[in-house]
Chains A and B, each alone.
Chain A
Amino acid sequence: DSGVTQTPKHLITATGQRVTLRCSPRSGDLSVYWYQQSLDQGLQFLIQYYNGEERAKGNILERFSAQQFPDLHSELNLSSLELGDSALYFCASSVDGRNEQFFGPGTRLTVL
């Protein structure tokens, strides 16, 4: 158990819908990262927050957005969902941005 929690574990929804994925980092960790893992692309960095502020963006679609709240938990919002958005979404946290990242169990999103 890494100490990073993610909810829900599974999400099944339809194209065009909007969903919210939630992540709670390890106690004491200020940095939160979101990654997407699909079969053909591997693990891809989406976005990073540090102590409530956006720090870095990767290949995140405009339909996707995220935020980190004062209690340091983070939410990833995915809207206008397409079939290709089906993937595993992982949250990771680290004490700061320079050390190892610890991953949560992931949310499996299926878009039908």
Chain B
Amino acid sequence: EDQVTQSPEALRLQEGESSSLNCSYTVSGLRGLFWYRQDPGKGPEFLFTLYSAGEEKEKERLKATLTKKESFLHITAPKPEDSATYLCAVQFGGSEKLVFGKGTKLTVNP
């Protein structure tokens, strides 16, 4: 059973069409939830860290929120340059490793 599940697997939006990506997790003892952006063939680029339920973080057109069992990445009025795979990862228990979901591939059409 996957510990981190992201949905949808792929999302196609028109420029300016806002939407949300979901990341649900089944681990206990969450220490942190991390969002990354990854362009093809590149390394993941850090976006946000969320530590506790109710926390929210924003950066330009992106806003990340956290509840007890899931996180959302809201994209407001996206642009074509927001096209990428968005990865969610959790750190839990006594471990410092990141456990990743399989990502959501976002395509924003002009």
The A33-63 residues at the B interface (CB cut-off 8 A) are: 33, 35, 42-45, 48, 55-56, 58
* B102 within 8 Å of A (CB atoms): yes
Given the contacts A2-B45, A42-B102, A98 and B31 also touching, CB distance less than 8 Å: yes
For chains A and B in complex, what number of residue pairs have CB atoms within 8 angstroms? 59
Number of interface residues, chain B, beta carbon within 8 A: 23
CA distance A98 to B97 in the complex (A): 9
Given the complex of chains A and B, what is the CA–CA distance between A98 and B51 in angstroms? 11
How many Å lie between the Cα of A64 and that of B101 in the bound state? 24
Question: Beyond A43-B87, A98-B31, A100-B34, is A90–B100 a contact (Cβ under 8 Å)?
Answer: no
| CA distance in complex: A89, B36 (Å) | 17
Give the contact-size bracket for chain A: 20 to 34
B-side residues, CB < 8 A to A, are 31-32, 34, 36, 41-46, 49, 87, 89, 91, 95-103
